[in-house]
Amino acid sequence: MNNTFVVDIIGEGGFPFSKNASTYKIKMLAKAIYEAGILVRFYSPVTLDCEHKLYGKYDEIAYRKFSVFKPNDNKIVKLFKYLIGSFMMFVYLYKERDKKSKEVLLISYMTSIEFVFYYIYAKCLKYKIVISIMEYHPCIVKSISKKSNALFFDHIATQLCDGIIPITVNLFNRIRVKSYKKEYKYIIIPALSDYENHFYESKIQLPFEHYFTICLSAGYEENVQFCINSLLKMQNDYVGLVIVIYGKQEKVNSVKRKYSNSRVYFISNLEEDELQTLYYYAKALLLPMRANNIQDKYRFPQKIAEYLMSGSPLLTNNGGIIKDYFNDNENAFVVDKYNPSAFAQKMDFIINNPTLAKKIGSQGYLSGKNYFHYQNYSNQLYDFFTIL
C-alpha cells in the first residue's frame, strides 16, 4: 500500500449495501483508488440502514457511519442526529489523519452549508478537497431554494475545490467557469462496473419466457411509461417487459399501481447474482435517452456499465453520451428518435434477429470492458491525485 496518499470518501450512508446508482459508482471508484495502491476509506454522518453494522470492510475498504435515521424520526430529530453524526465523524477523521501523507476528502453533491463546513475543515487540516459530480443538478430540482443550492454546488463549489471528477466531458464543459481559473485539475470517470465479477446463474420465476428488461429508480417514471408504450406497440405480442424498480417504497408502489399490465412484471430487491441472471436472459436491456433533455445530455447512466457486463445487447437512443461510445448494429442497438414506435420497431428487429442480437451483445461486452471496467482508471486516478 502506497503511503503517499490517503483518500477519505464522504458520502451517503447506503455504502456499500444500497443498490442505487450513486452508491454503486462510489463503490467502483473506491475499488479503483484502492487498486492504485492508495489507502481509501468511506465515512458517512448518518445512515438509513438499520440492518447492517455501522462499520466494517468492503473489498478491503473500511467504512464507518456515525448515526442512524429511524423511519419514525421527525425533521428535528433527524437534524440533531445529523449534527451529532457529523461532529463524531470530524473528530474521528481528525484522530485518524496521517500528517505524513497527502490527504484528500472526496465528496459528492451536498447542501451549500455542508460544503462550507467541509471546505473550512479541509483547509484548516490541509486536506485536498475533490468533488465527484455525476449530474447537472440545476436541471433536476424544481424549488427556488434547491435550484439555488444546485447552482452553487455545480458552479461555485467545483471552482473552490482542488480537483473535480466529472462523469462526462459534456458535464465538465457545462460546470466550468472559464474566467475563474486558468487551469482545472480534473479527470473524467464514466460509469464503472467490475467486469471480472463472475456470473452466477440463479433461478428467477417470471410470468413469461421472452422479455426485455429495464432497471431504474422509481423517480424515472417517464422511462417506465416510454418502455411500456414501446412494448405495447410491438408486433411480437408474446414478449414481456421486466422492470427492476427501486427507491422509496411509497413511490415504487405508486408506479406499480399506475402501470399495471399483464405484459409487464415489476420486481424489486434482487441480489447481484439474480440481477445479472435477469440481464443475461433478456432479449435486450433498455435505456431510453432523451436527445433534447438537459439531464440526459450531461449525465452518464450507471446502468450502461452494469448492462454491458451481462453480454445481452443494449437498446437505447442516440442522445447524450451514447454517440460517443456506441454505434447502431455494432456494439448496441441505437434508435435515432426518442419515440415509442421507433423503439418498438427496433425491439421487434431484435426478436426477429437473435443471432445478430447475440453478436451485438458480445461486442457491447467488449466495449464495456474497454471503457467501463473500474481497474482501467486506477493509474489515471493515481496520476490525478499526484498533481493536486
Give residue 12's pLDDT. 86
pLDDT of the residue at 182:
57
Q: Which three cell numbers stand for residue 176?
A: 466550468
Task: Please give the chain's pLDDT, 388 residues, in tens.
Answer: 666 889 999 998 889 988 888 899 999 999 999 999 999 999 999 998 877 889 999 988 999 999 999 888 899 999 999 999 999 999 999 998 887 889 999 999 999 999 999 999 999 999 999 999 999 999 999 899 999 999 999 999 999 999 999 999 999 999 987 656 557 899 999 999 999 876 667 778 899 999 999 999 998 999 999 999 999 999 999 999 999 999 888 999 999 999 999 999 999 988 888 999 999 999 999 999 988 889 999 999 999 999 999 999 999 999 889 999 999 999 999 999 999 999 999 999 999 999 999 999 999 999 999 999 999 999 999 999 999 9
Nearest C-alpha neighbor of 314 from the set 336, 342, 285: 285
Task: Provide the 10 A C-beta neighbour count for residue 257.
Answer: 8
Neighbours of 208 (CB within 10 A): 14
Burial class (CB in 10 A: 0-12, 13-18, 19+), 131: buried
* CA distances, 329 to each of 4, 332, 355, 364 (Å): 46, 6, 12, 10
Complete DSSP assignment for 259-299? T--TTEEEE----HHHHHHHHHHSS-EEE---TT-HHHHH-
Domains of the chain: 2-192+374-386 (3.40.50.2000), 211-371 (3.40.50.2000)
- Measured in whole angstroms, the distance separating CA 309 from the mean position of its chain's CA atoms is 15
Name the E strands within 50-126. Answer: 55-58, 61-65, 102-107
pLDDT on residue 176? 86
Cβ 304 vs Cβ 287: under 8 Å? yes
pLDDT at residue 2 in the model: 62
DSSP string, 105-157: EEE-S--HHHHHHHHHHHHHTT-EEEEEE-S-GGGS--SHHHHHHHHHIIIII
Give residue 386's Cα distance to chain centre. Answer: 25
**Which CA distances in Å does 123 have to 38, 120, 199?**
21, 5, 45
Can you give the pTM of this predicted structure? 0.92
Determine how β-strand 333-335 pairs with β-strand 264-267. unpaired
